[in-house]
Structure 1
Amino acid sequence: MSAANDPKYYVDGNTDHSGNSDYNAAVLFATETTASGHLIGIMTLNSPKSLNALSVEMCHLLSQQLEQWQSESQLVAILLKGAGDKAFCAGGDIRKLYDSMSDSAPFPNPYATEFFSNEYRLYRQMHFYPKPIILWGDGIIMGGGMGLMASCSHRIVTERTRFAMPEMTIGLFPDASGSWFLQHMPAKTGLFLGLTGAQCNGNDALLSNLAEYGVASSDYDAVLQQLLASDWQAMFDSGYVLTAHNIVSEALAKQPTVELAKSKLAMHWSPIQRLMNSGGLAAIDALLQDDQALAQFDSDFANDSWVQRAVQTYRQGCPVTAALAYTLYHKVKLLSLEQILYLELNVAVHCAANPDFREGVRALLIDKDKSPKWSRSLAECLTAEGRSYIEEHLDNPYTETTHPLSEWLGIDALSAQYVR
């Protein structure tokens, strides 16, 4: 935060007059005054020890503050960042979720319903938010952090940005609106990332429609000052012909760019596209499982260390996750964001009741033996019985009137209102 201004700090939406930016809340909120006398809100995920893992509490706090700021005409834009210098947000805080996934847990699991529905409601709220939300996407961005990233209107990445959808490793599926934003990546690169959990950089984010601006990680204060110096009054004087989104875009475009690492997706988009179109999931799997077949398919692609790490992640990952990722990628092509999130909640709650998600979390985060025992092979997932099992994940696990996101499918859904 800039020392040139007098920021107002908030805790749970209330002003903390001490001005202590180290307050131990899950999310810190502040405002800074622009040169034109308007306000920019700043939201900081404040759990650096967990790499700012997204929790139910964080979702509640962010949603409440967004709702409050939406009605404040003097507040013109919002900047979202993570505390610390390692991560914006490395995913969801799933330890409590893991603890709730016992054999005796009711179905649908109440905590899984709370965890995922609050997370998905936040993404929808941000996606349709009328004011610009600017992401400072420095450091690690994974899973739930990717959902936040995809929901912001303006995304900034740095030379330290590393993003991935690593759900293959824990037996979940690429959720957090992943079914939506992976679909929007060019040349089926999104399907490749969903299947392999490949780690990408800032340039990859620019290419894959997940970011618009690349700046140096040391330039946060400069970016903030550029936003504060902008003429926000011009928006009001123009009768909103000049929008807040326009002003943010112009301000960020003035910021000096930084040289980012070369995009692996750009380098390999052609073999990725051919691989993802080589047939069904069985054909893709046959290439990814066989070093010799992959080398014959494309030797340069197969010999790249980034590709090799992605392939190893796929081979060690959960076959049910691969089947779910592939199925959802093709199922949601014509669906709205709200419809996709509705479907993702169904799948997520089923995953919380089935064995692979619990086993994947155990192996990676609890016992840390990194030796999960998956419930099915991919070959078993592709049998008639296995396909039925995968499709059951998409079924509505709630009664007709109790689905937490049911209003998103009707004529009053926000996406439907936009069409009208």
Structure 2
Amino acid sequence: MTDVVLFEELICDNGKKIGVATLNSPKSLNALSGDMIDLLYPQLEAWQQAKEISAVFLQGAGEKALCAGGDIVKLYNDMQEAGEEFSPSIESYFTREYQLDYLIHTYTKPFIVWGHGIVMGGGLGLMVGASHRIVTESSRIAMPEISIGLYPDVGGTWFLNRMPDNCGLFLGLTGASINASDAKYTGMADYFVPAEQKQALLATLTSINWGDTTALNHEKLNDAMRELERSHISKMPATFVKANQSLINQTTQGESLAEIVNNIINVEVEDKWFNRAQSSLKHGSAISAHLVYQQLIKGKRLSLADCFRMELDLSVKCGQYGEFQEGVRALLIDKDNQPKWRFTDVESVDAATVEWFFDSKWSVQEHPLASLGK
């Protein structure tokens, strides 16, 4: 059986090393499985402690995706088995995933992610916390959870709240797909490098005169990446988000979620990207829309660790409630694309149901992520 994550160490010109981790399940678009997480976490910790390792480079096998998201087919089967009961396997998966995401966010050494191809959901959780996030002309990035009855987890509470001018709320509600230029504009990526320049990038990384001072290593990598990007900046794709920024601002102004959703869905505009976003919101889960709206309000002043704790509360409830299960069924199991959502629109969702999702099933001390950030 092939290893689902491959590890190697590149020797640099000065004898230092770069740890390379490759998600190795190209047939599933490198969907993030529990086995992948269990291999990645201890290796990343070991590399963080190893003196000879100066930086880490994360990529996906194949040319189509870094990671298309979590292994939601496996999660669907776990939810099926649990029925309407709480699922320990759902808790275990999301706990381990968020611990891995948090490790990347707080990694002390330069952490480089090659965000080529599809980067969605759980894949974005791996990329967004890295210190050096690289996108290409083929990068296709999204948090499309509204279409499967979930919500933008993997730190979405943190990074969506830090986007400019309500872009986070709009992208969370619509699940809109964005490109490399949009990723840089919204703060989800740092550098643009064409896919054909990947080997040149790796050669650049191994030629850096890495030292033993973390801050200086970050500076050296910053300089090298800026120089590499400068030669290819003209190849960046046209932006969707920035081009629609005034419309995003206009439609996300409202006193309630219902008003904002109606604004987005009903505004008349001839723009294919915006129209696709309207359609995703219109056909998505009304409960998911409420979760997005509330997670951004409640998470605005939370620490990164507290954001992940709140998301684990939400995720285990999503695993129990049934909306997530129905969304996966319609999209990936039966593939009828006809999810039977609990509520027909956001106005129909009662406040008590929404609050149930945010009510933690654990005490502060018993929370599975209680030690995060401590």
Name the TM-score, length of structure 1 as normaliser.
0.85
Residue in structure 2 matched with residue 243 of structure 1 by the alignment: 216
Task: Give the C-alpha shift of residue 257 in structure 1.
Answer: 2.1
Q: Distance in 1 between matches of 2:80 and 2:50?
A: 44
Q: Which amino acid letter does the alignment assign opposite residue 360 of structure 2?
A: N
Residues 131 and 379 (structure 1), Cα distance of their counterparts in 2 relative to 1, 3 Å cut: closer
Which residue of the partner structure matches residue 340 of structure 1? Answer: 307
Task: Say if 1:92 and 1:104 are closer, same or farther in 2 by CA, change over 3 A.
Answer: closer
* Equivalent position amino acid for 1:45 in 2: L
**1:378 pairs with 2:345:** yes
Kindly indicate whether the alpha-carbon contact (under 8 Å) linking 1:30 and 1:43 is maintained by their aligned counterparts in 2: yes
Q: Distance in 2 between matches of 1:106 and 1:305?
A: 39
- Displacement of 1:104 after TM fit? 4.7
Q: Which residue in 1 is equivalent to 2:115?
A: 137
2:232 paired with 1:257: yes
1:355 to 317, 322, 342: 322
Closer/same/farther in 2, CA of residues 130 and 241 from structure 1, 3 Å limit = closer
Residue pair 1:51, 1:90 contacting (<8 A) in 2 also = yes
Deviations for 1:9-37, whole angstroms, at most 9, x for unmatched residues? xxxxxxxxxxxxxx821100000111111
Do 2:258 and 2:347's aligned partners in 1 also have CA atoms closer than 8 Å? Answer: no
What residue in structure 2 maps to residue 28 of structure 1? Answer: 6
Matched residue type, 2:159: F
2:14–2:209 Cα contact (<8 Å) kept: yes
Q: Deviations over 1:133-162 (max 9, x none)?
A: 101111010000111111111011010001
**How many Å apart are 1:398 and its aligned residue?**
2.9
- Residue 105 of structure 2 corresponds to which residue in structure 1? 127
Quote the residue 2:263 is aligned against: 287
1:157–1:202 Cα contact (<8 Å) kept? yes
* Residue type at the aligned position of 1:47: S
Question: Match of 2:353?
Answer: 389
Q: In 2, distance between residues paired with 1:214 and 1:52?
A: 22
Q: Which amino acid aligns with 1:257?
A: H
Equivalent AA in structure 2 for residue 48 of structure 1: P
Deviation per CA, 1:365-388: give whole Å up to 9, x if none: 000000000001334545xxx111
Greater alpha carbon shift after TM alignment, 248-257 vs 183-192? 248-257
Question: Which ranges in structure 1 are unaligned for 5 or more consecutive residues?
Answer: 1-22, 296-301, 415-420
Select which of 401, 404, 407 maps to 2:371: 407
SS at 2:149 equivalent? coil
Identity %: 41
Alpha-carbon distance in 2 for matches of 1:106, 1:403: 21
Tell me, in whole angstroms, the C-alpha distance in 2 between the residues paired with 1:70 and 1:80.
Answer: 14
Matched, 1:178 2:156: yes
Q: In structure 2, what is the Cα distance between the partners aligned to 1:40 and 1:171?
A: 39
Question: Residue by residue, what CA displacement relative to the aligned partner does 1:70-129 show, whole Å, maximum 9, x if unpaired?
Answer: 111111001110000000100000112111113754743101101100000001111111
Letter in 1 for 2:232: T
Q: Measure, in 2, the Cα distance between the counterparts of 1:154 and 1:190.
A: 21
Distance in 1, Cα, partners of 2:79 & 2:56: 36
Aligned residue runs from structure 1 range 312-327, under 5 A: 312-327=279-294
1:13-412 matched pairs, under 5 angstroms = 24-102=2-80, 104-105=82-83, 107-232=85-210, 235-236=211-212, 240=213, 243-255=216-228, 256-258=231-233, 259-290=235-266, 294-295=267-268, 302-382=269-349, 386-399=350-363, 401-408=365-372
Q: Distance in 1 between matches of 2:48 and 2:81?
A: 42
Output one character per residue of 1:226-280: Cα deviation in whole Å (capped at 9) or x when no partner.
Answer: 0111111xx34xxx38522112111212213241111111111111012111331
Q: Please report the RMSD computed on the Cα atoms of aligned residues, expressed in angstroms.
A: 1.5
Distance 1:106 1:312 in 2: 30
Find the aligned partners of 1:107 and 1:396 in 2 and give their Cα distance.
Answer: 15
Amino acid of the structure 2 residue aligned with 1:244: N
Q: In the aligned structure 1, how far is the partner of 2:3 from the partner of 2:250?
A: 47
> In 2, are the aligned partners of 1:323 and 1:378 still within 8 Å (CA)?
no
Shift of 1:60: 1.2
C-alpha distance 227-390 of structure 1, shift in aligned 2 (>3 A): same
State the Cα deviation string for residues 382-404 of structure 1 (Å, max 9, x = none).
5xxx1111111011123554321
CA contact (8 A) 1:381 1:390 kept: no
**Maintained 8 Å contact 1:90/1:142:** yes
| Deviates further, 393-402 or 281-290 | 393-402
Do the aligned residues in 1 keep the contact of 2:158 with 2:307 (CA within 8 Å)?
A: yes
Cα separation, 2, equivalents of 1:311 and 1:364: 18
User: Does the CA-based 8 Å contact 1:381-1:387 persist in structure 2?
Assistant: no
Residues 57, 114 of structure 2: 8 Å contact kept? yes
TM-aligned CA distance change 1:63 to 1:103, over 3 Å: closer
Scaled by the length of structure 2, the TM-score of the pair is 0.96
Pair member with larger Rg: 1
Give the structure 2 partner of residue 3 of structure 1.
none
CA gap of 1:85–1:241, structure 2 versus 1, over 3 A, is closer
Report if the CA contact (8 A) 2:290-2:346 is conserved.
no
